[in-house]
Amino acid sequence: MPAAAAADTAAILARYPLLDRDASILDFNHRVLHWAERPDVPLLERLRYLCIVSSNLDEFFEVRAEPHLTAWRAGTDAGGGMRRLMAAAHGLVNRQYAIYNDVLLPAMAAKRLRIVSHLDRNEAQRKWVREHFLREVKPLLVPVALDPAHPFPQVANKSLNFIVQLKGKDAFGRRNEIAIVKVPRVLPRVLRLPERVSGGETLFVMLSSVVRAHLPDLFPGREVGDFSHFRVTRDSDLSVDEQEVKNLRTALRQELHQRHYGLAMRLEVSSACSPELSDFLLRQFRLPAEALFKVQGPVNLVRLQQLISLVDAPELLFAPYSASYPVQLKRGESVFERLKRGDVLTHLPFESFDGVIDFLREAVHDPAVLAIKQTIYRTGNDSRMMDLLIDAQRRGKEVTAVVELKARFDEEANINWAEHLERAGAQVVYGVVGLKTHAKMLLVTRREGRQLRRYGHLSTGNYNPRTAALYTDLSYLTADARLTSDMDQLFVHLASHSRLPRMQRMLLAPFTLHRQMLAKIDAVAQAAMKGRGGRIVAKMNALTDEALIVALLRAGDAGAKIDLIVRGACMLPAALTKNIRVRSIIGRFLEHSRVFYFRAGADEQLWLSSADWMNRNMLRRVETAWQVTDPLLRQRIIDECLLAYLHDARDAWVMEDGGHYRSVVPPGAPPGPSAQAALMERYRS
């Protein structure tokens, strides 16, 4: 960076200090947790949002905590980053359990849904629980009393365990006072009591309560003293050196097992756990006192999702939403013929993913189709698309799959699909060493007369039919020769690592996307400075790239009007600026689409992308962005993805001082219109 530019950047950052990324992530989860408190949300859905926050927190500690804990262990955390992170996490967890105990459990009890502890169970219920324990649970438990021959056992990431203090002597006359009981993952964490012992209510028991009530059965001849269930969260980043390994897939499969036993990041115990036992566990896991979370309830609220599935009460859930078939397509009509008339946009999940499935299915069964190429990032374990690709290969098509093996927490599913595809004869490649392939592309080559014609699909989201019903994304089908040519060149590059020619319609990370986004922001700034008007509206999941933030701040200082719709982490301190506003939408569906609008004077551009504005997306991943030039589709995206969300008065939050957010609904006031609700109504099947 030239000295003048570096000085300018330093001056801007001095005026607008960036917000802390980890604090911003935790603040996002406070906004999600608000859904667990909202009285207008069905009761079991409120419980589901509580579980979502727990799942998010698990991932936060698995992914984000390691640098802070490593610095603390090494004695280099002079800035106190670990303590700040843990204090913020404690605040979120305390609020979470307060909602669980003081809001949700009483509301559930009012609906005759109760989780009954051992003390609350009557004699018939205790008998049923004991019989279940003896039949289904005890045979799978192997308590380990600690002594020199039985050291502290390996405790897997996020598993349920008990620590027990024993009195008296063992069978050999020794005083081994501490025992560990590991509870297998195969056991369901929530059990519904049968109607014959439920007294007309819907009653549940937690597996932890079942084990706790019968701990003496595991230690005959010993007296059980203090005890607690506990759970440790571990660092879960896979450490595979792509430059060194000869077979990335084999190395990752071997590494997946070790993920369960990474460095400990957080320890959760029951609120009644004695200091002696909690201190013992902290020493075993080499954790500071700040990493101890004493909770009033289950140590794993995520597993309460099982309770929701055990209740037959549709009135306590969201009314089912049936997405319409994509409005630009007709069932039974050839997608290829439709694309000859123009591009097709699908707004997920308001419109269904079936259009993409039908596009691929038609390609598989069409004898004129010669080749199919697709990127695979997150497809899930049960994927219709993967089955279709395998079928295509068996039908004699040339199938190329670019599989991203390092898609975090989807590695095993992707390895399995890669092996299935290879066994079917497909060409499977793993992208570029050191870069995650995060682009979402599907390309079909078809013989039409004497010519070969390409048809493509690009998306802001993944090829996962399940999440396509839960995430908002934009799906784009095209027969544009220049755009599909760019896609083909990118597939060739990913397979052969050949030099990319100049792209005609597409921007690509890590080559041009970052530079061009900066250039477009700068063009808006220049237009605003010259009085020609400048406007930016950008919708994304996260904004953490320093260069892009500085460019936005510079454009705001130049007079450009900027609205940022950022679902999660945002490091730009909008409250300190005059012309930049940041809002976050937390709705029934997870906001996931990336839409970038730039207006510099009379020049107006709209771009869709697979990339968030994060440094890793711009410089360490293969990402795509493409311009929407069709005026009708462009206006539709502006109306549905930008304007609707800027006017949302129900699910929106606005950034204020310190990076904290305020709901747009004043306390006690009725909520206004919701962008997601309006889109559901528009596209309801």
Catalytic residues: 438
Whole-number Å distance between alpha carbons of 470 and 472: 7
Q: Is 620 annotated as a binding residue?
A: no
- Residue 305: Cβ within 10 Å count: 17
Name the packing angle between helices 248-259 and 411-424 (round to 10°): 150
Alpha helices, H only, 64-153: 66-74, 81-99, 105-110, 123-132
Q: Is 408 annotated as a binding residue?
A: yes
* β-pairing verdict for 398-403 and 369-376: parallel
Query: Which residues, including other chains, have CB under 8 Å from residue 512's CB and lie 6 or more apart?
Result: 503
* Residue 684 β-bridge partners: 323
Q: What is the dihedral of CA 372, 636, 569, 546, to 10 degrees?
A: 80
- Least Cα distance to 265 among 59, 30, 21, 407 occurs for 59
* Residue 538 β-bridge partners: 564, 596
Q: Are 401 and 428 a contacting pair, CB within 8 Å? A: yes
Q: Which two tokens stand for residue 462?
A: 């993944």
Q: Are 53 and 33 a contacting pair, CB within 8 Å? A: yes
Q: Is 471 annotated as a binding residue?
A: yes
Q: Is 647 annotated as a binding residue?
A: no
Q: Is 234 annotated as a binding residue?
A: no
Whole-number Å distance between alpha carbons of 201 and 193: 10
Residue type, 547: A
Q: Is 592 annotated as a binding residue?
A: yes
Q: Are 604 and 598 a contacting pair, CB within 8 Å? A: yes
First to last CA, the chain: 53
SS (H, E, C) 245-260: CCCHHHHHHHHHHHHC
Q: In whole angstroms, how large is the CA radius of gyration of the chain?
A: 27
Whole-number Å distance between alpha carbons of 180 and 151: 10
Whole-number Å distance between alpha carbons of 346 and 350: 8
Q: Kindly tell me the sign of the dihedral angle through the C-alpha atoms of 645, 651, 655, 656.
A: positive
Whole-number Å distance between alpha carbons of 145 and 163: 10
- My answer on whether omega of the bond before 184 falls inside 30° of 0, hence cis, is no
Query: Which residues, including other chains, have CB under 8 Å from residue 2's CB and lie 6 or more apart?
Result: none
Element containing residue 651 per DSSP (H, E): none
Report how far apart, in Å, the C-alpha atoms of 137 and of each of 146, 185, 186, 187, 217 are: 22, 11, 10, 8, 12
Concatenate the DSSP letters of all residues of 574-628 into one string.
GGG-SSEEEEEE--SSEE---EEEEEETTEEEEEEES--BSHHHHHSEEEEEEE-
80: left (phi over 0), alpha (psi -120 to 50) or beta: left
- Can you say which residues are annotated as belonging to the binding site for ATP? 56, 471, 567, 592
- Can you say which residues are annotated as belonging to the binding site for Mg(2+)? 378, 408
